[in-house]
Amino acid sequence: MPSLYVSSGYASVGYVNSGIWIDWAARVIFVPKAETTLVQTLPTEVRSLDLDAFRLALKNLEDDPAGMVYPDTHRHVAPVNVGGVVLARVLEIVNDFTVTFEDGQYAVNLVGANSNVGDRVNVNQVSVRSANSAGLVDADPQLVAQAVWSHASAVSLTDRMTLASAILRNKTVTDPTTGIMTVYGDDGVTPLLSAQLYEGVTTGQTYRGQGAERRERLQ
């Protein structure tokens, strides 16, 4: 465990804790902010924690002299291939261990595994968000990256996230004459992108509605 104080009750000015560490006696796992990855800064700061890297750090601490006398911090099930579908890894915090994230006004997304980490968190100002799913699939990172960057207008990951958000939230209008759906920018005026809609899956018949379908921006 790193030294937090230069003297009792006094934290050194500018001190930044680095590396995941464990208070074995209290069975508390501490996750410094620096061990999470920045996802966005505005309108709120959001970071992510790779649960596979997290559990590897825990295993490394468990085999240190200080940790060898204590029970395991977690159970881990590696990704499993079932009929060609790769089910995601599972991480379970066990033996009364809890998790504390470095306090602050930010959110942490738990990624890369189904886990009970969100249920074992010691509450402070940090918002910890899990995305557990019975059908969570372990995707090939290379294939995901290829899909993200394949769009001709891709400049950065932030651009792609902004575009996806616009498609889901912004004003859309579908012209019944041409079957063209247009997604508008945040101002509700500037066309952002458009695409041809079709009726059915295999007919190839362009969409023909009774009137222009419209959705205002979702708040």
Query: Quick one: pLDDT at residue 159?
Result: 66
Interval 156-178 mean pLDDT: 74
Higher pLDDT, 211 or 3: 211
Interval 134-156 mean pLDDT: 53
pLDDT > 80? residue 184? yes
Q: How far apart are CA 91 and CA 88, in angstroms?
A: 10
Please state which of the ranges 14-18, 137-141, 156-160, 193-197 shows the lowest mean pLDDT: 137-141
Query: Quick one: pLDDT at residue 15?
Result: 56
pTM, rounded to two decimals: 0.57
Neighbours of 64 (CB within 10 A): 11
pLDDT > 80? residue 45? yes
Tokens standing for 124? 């402070």
